């Protein structure tokens, strides 16, 4: 909903002013037998005189109050409750607050307007008040709220929720009662005040507007569920559901039991899983799932629930018992508990890998292997290899010049000395493989592109008697080494390698000159 012109709020300034009850001051200056008073609220000034006891007939109507710092009193002019402050030696004070005003727009639209109100006191001066409307939250039936912030001359859409303390302008409640979409929504203080005082009001009616069945949910007793909706705790409602069980995403026969538990989140999630798996669990099965879920990290539960798509709860439990990874008894140590939890996680991993790789998930051989950890490790290697093969095919296609340049580059850069050899990469796939084995980033697009375009080249430095085993990867530009690394970005035998590379680059410069002279000679020979 777009921001729009709204009706002015009558009585807001006056109401806001009343909220600063602690800082209504009357400044006084005592001067012997009398005191001059100045009410900072109404701005009036008056004088208090001490009663002259010697002459009881004079000044009979005058005051007996003797102003003192922080003494409570009432303004003689405007009757406001206030406290005395000396006209000099009083610190200035600045206070602020927020007032929330609710307005009906029509039966299916409502707006909360937040006013930022301030009070500034300065010694001996009238108190200054200000109020600015700085936030608007528009509610519309069946919609998410739209929020706007005041940027002085313009309102900008905002994505921040209301996370501050506010006082509710009393007329707001009447406006809520007048609005069709809220008229029959029961007021549940335990939900509304969940956050602090009645600052849950906005959240409450955001939920009431957004979920058209909010009223019914509360009336049938799903108060915890309603509370979660208000507090934006994910409970995965289906806004398009026609019936209540569809909106809750549970089987119809679970509704009664869910209501008995007021819509408890854990129970709801179990029932939602049951429906998602198109299952109808028996009590025994439900207990198994409940026990499993309670003993599983929520981050693993997604995989676990995928496994349950193919494995019935009873078979899952039996297999886990056989594999000694079912939840241990009460007396088990926490180490044993953790060990079994880790095993279960590995099993869920194993199953989800099988699913992803398209295996036949009806086969017991696949579902219940005698050593699922070994099968899992095999799968990991297989999946990784498939990924690598794909990457290699891809880079060979994308960076073909690495291969075509090899011969020329080899002439320029290949060398052997002191038990080491160095040579350029033969093709893009070889660079990817080098990076994989040495666990560094040379297989990334950046180095490949650079080599392909001739900006810098990747060379492999290896031990002479282990020519096929990656050892050091070198990046070179012309005859200058840019960087070199071994496995895991380490620099093994750094001193030796640095020295070796130094000699190597020196040799390269020489070789360059020689090649030039060599290429010049045949030319001369030809012409001769
Ligand atoms: Zn006054």
What confidence score (pLDDT) does residue 63 get? 59
Q: Which residues contact 384 (CB under 8 A, 6 or more apart)?
A: none
CA of 117 to the centre of ligand 1 (A): 21
Distance 37 CA to ligand 1 centre (A): 10
Sign of the four-CA dihedral 487, 489, 495, 500: positive
Question: What pLDDT is stored for residue 528 in this prediction?
Answer: 36
Q: Tell me, in angstroms, the distance from the centre of ligand 1 to residue 40's CA.
A: 7
Q: For residue 476, what is the domain's CATH number?
A: 3.40.630
511 C-alpha vs ligand 1 centroid, how far in Å?
Answer: 99
Q: How far apart are the C-alpha atoms of 28 and 22, rounded to whole Å?
A: 17
Domain that includes residue 279, residue range: 98-299
254 lies in the same domain as 111 = yes
Strands 415-417 and 167-168: unpaired
Query: Both 350 and 443 in a single domain?
Result: no
140 CA to centre of ligand 1 in angstroms: 44
Q: Supply φ then ψ for residue 36, to 5 degrees.
A: -90, 130
Give the distance (Å) from ligand 1 centre to CA of residue 176: 35
- Give me ligand 1 centre to Cα 26, in Å: 8
Ligand 1 centroid to Cα of residue 326, in Å, is: 76
State the distance from the centre of ligand 1 to the C-alpha of 501, rounded, in angstroms: 90
Q: What pTM, to 2 d.p., does this model score?
A: 0.68
DSSP code of residue 212 = T
User: Are residues 168 and 58 part of one domain?
Assistant: no
The alpha carbon of 66 and the centre of ligand 1 are apart by a number of angstroms equal to 17
Count CB-CB contacts under 10 A for residue 465: 8
In the reported structure, the alpha carbon of residue 74 is separated from the centroid of ligand 1 by a whole-number distance in angstroms of 8
In a domain, 53, yes or no: yes
For 246, residues 6+ apart whose C-beta sits below 8 A from its C-beta are 238
Report the pLDDT value the prediction gives residue 198, as an integer from 0 to 100: 77
Centroid of ligand 1 to alpha carbon of 146 (angstroms): 42
Task: State the sign of the Cα–Cα–Cα–Cα dihedral 180, 185, 189, 193.
Answer: negative
CA of 275 to the centre of ligand 1 (A): 68
End-to-end CA distance of the chain: 88
Do 156 and 251 have their domain in common?
Answer: yes
- Cα angle for residues 273, 278, 282 (degrees, 5° grid): 75
CA 120 to ligand 1 center in whole angstroms: 16
* Ligand 1 center to 38 CA (angstroms): 8
Q: How far is the CA of 45 from the centre of ligand 1 (A)?
A: 8
Residue in 14, 275, 37 with CA at minimum distance from that of residue 129? 14
CB 61 within 8 A of CB 22: no
Domain boundary among 95, 111, 144: 95
Domain C-terminal end among 339, 372, 398 = 398
71 lies in the same domain as 33: yes
Determine the distance separating the centroid of ligand 1 and the alpha carbon of 63, expressed in angstroms: 17
Domain count, the chain: 4
* pLDDT value at residue 329: 87
Q: How far is the CA of 165 from the centre of ligand 1 (A)?
A: 29
**Cα→Cα distances 508→411, 460, 479, Å:** 11, 16, 6
The answer to the question of residue 2 being in a domain is no
Distance (angstroms) between ligand 1 centre and the Cα of 208 equals 44
Strands 25-31 and 81-86: parallel
Q: How far is the CA of 172 from the centre of ligand 1 (A)?
A: 29
Beta bridge partners of 422: 415, 461
Chain centroid to Cα 320, Å, comes to 35
Of 191, 176, 10, 192, nearest in space to 109 by CA: 176
Question: Within a domain: residue 1?
Answer: no
What pLDDT was estimated at residue 455?
94
- The pLDDT score that the predictor gives to residue 526 is 42
- Residue 478 in contact with residue 512, Cβ under 8 Å? no
Please report the pLDDT score of residue 513 as a whole number.
65
> Does a structural domain hold residue 336?
yes
As averages over each run of 10 residues, the pLDDT of the chain (528 residues) reads 79 89 89 88 87 53 74 92 91 92 96 95 91 94 93 86 88 96 92 80 95 93 95 90 93 96 95 95 95 91 94 96 92 92 94 93 94 92 90 95 95 93 96 93 91 95 94 94 94 94 91 56 41
Query: Which of 284, 353, 278, 355 shows the shortest CA–CA distance to 315?
Result: 284
- Asked if residue 224 belongs to a domain, the reply is yes
């Amino acid at each position: 909903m777009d921001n729009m012109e709204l009706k002015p709020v009558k009585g807001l300034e006056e109401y806001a002013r009343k909220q600063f009850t602690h800082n209504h001051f009357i400044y006084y200056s005592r001067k012997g037998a009398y005191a001059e008073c100045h009410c900072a609220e109404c701005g009036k000034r008056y004088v208090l005189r001490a009663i002259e006891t010697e002459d009881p007939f004079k000044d009979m109507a005058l005051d007996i109050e003797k102003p003192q710092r922080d003494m409570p009193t009432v303004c003689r002019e405007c009757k406001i409750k206030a406290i005395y402050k000396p006209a000099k030696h009083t610190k200035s004070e600045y206070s602020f607050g927020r007032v929330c005003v609710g307005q009906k727009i029509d039966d299916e639209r409502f707006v909360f307007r937040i006013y930022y109100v301030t009070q500034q006191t300065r010694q001996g001066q009238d108190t200054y008040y200000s109020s600015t409307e700085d936030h608007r939250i528009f509610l519309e039936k069946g919609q998410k709220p739209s929020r706007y912030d005041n940027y002085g001359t313009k309102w900008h859409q905002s994505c921040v929720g209301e996370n501050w303390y506010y006082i509710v302008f009393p007329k707001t409640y009447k406006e809520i009662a007048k609005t069709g979409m809220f008229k029959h929504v029961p007021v549940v203080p335990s939900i509304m005040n969940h956050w602090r005082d009645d600052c849950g009001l906005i959240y409450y009616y955001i939920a009431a507007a957004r979920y058209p069945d909010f009223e019914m949910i509360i009336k049938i007793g799903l108060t915890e569920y309603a509370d979660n909706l208000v507090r934006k705790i994910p409970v995965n409602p289906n806004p398009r559901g026609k019936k209540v069980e569809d909106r809750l995403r549970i089987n119809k026969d679970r509704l009664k039991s869910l209501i008995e538990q007021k819509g408890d989140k854990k129970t709801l999630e179990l029932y939602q899983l049951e429906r998602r798996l198109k299952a109808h669990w028996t009590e025994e099965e439900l207990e198994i799932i409940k026990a499993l879920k309670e003993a599983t990290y929520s981050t693993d539960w997604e995989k676990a629930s995928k496994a349950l798509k193919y494995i019935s709860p009873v078979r899952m439990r039996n297999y886990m018992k056989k594999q000694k990874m079912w939840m241990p008894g009460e007396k088990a140590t926490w180490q044993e508990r953790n060990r079994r939890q880790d095993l279960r996680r590995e099993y869920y991993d194993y199953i989800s890998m099988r699913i992803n790789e398209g295996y036949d998930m009806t086969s017991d051989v696949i579902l219940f292997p005698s050593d699922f950890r070994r099968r899992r490790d095999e799968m990991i290697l297989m999946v990784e290899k498939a990924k690598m093969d794909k990457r290699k095919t891809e880079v060979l296609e994308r960076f073909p010049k690495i291969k075509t340049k090899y011969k020329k580059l080899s002439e320029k850069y290949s060398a052997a000395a002191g038990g080491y050899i160095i040579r350029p990469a033969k093709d893009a796939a070889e660079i990817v493989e080098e990076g994989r084995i040495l666990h560094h980033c040379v297989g990334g697009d950046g180095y490949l592109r650079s080599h392909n375009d001739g900006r810098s080249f990747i060379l492999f430095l290896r031990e002479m008697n282990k020519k096929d085993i990656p050892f050091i990867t070198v990046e070179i530009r012309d005859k200058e080494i840019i960087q070199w690394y071994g496995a895991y970005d380490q620099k093994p035998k750094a001193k030796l390698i640095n020295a070796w590379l130094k000699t190597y680059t020196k040799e390269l410069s020489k070789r360059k000159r020689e090649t030039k002279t060599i290429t010049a000679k045949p030319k001369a020979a030809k012409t001769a």
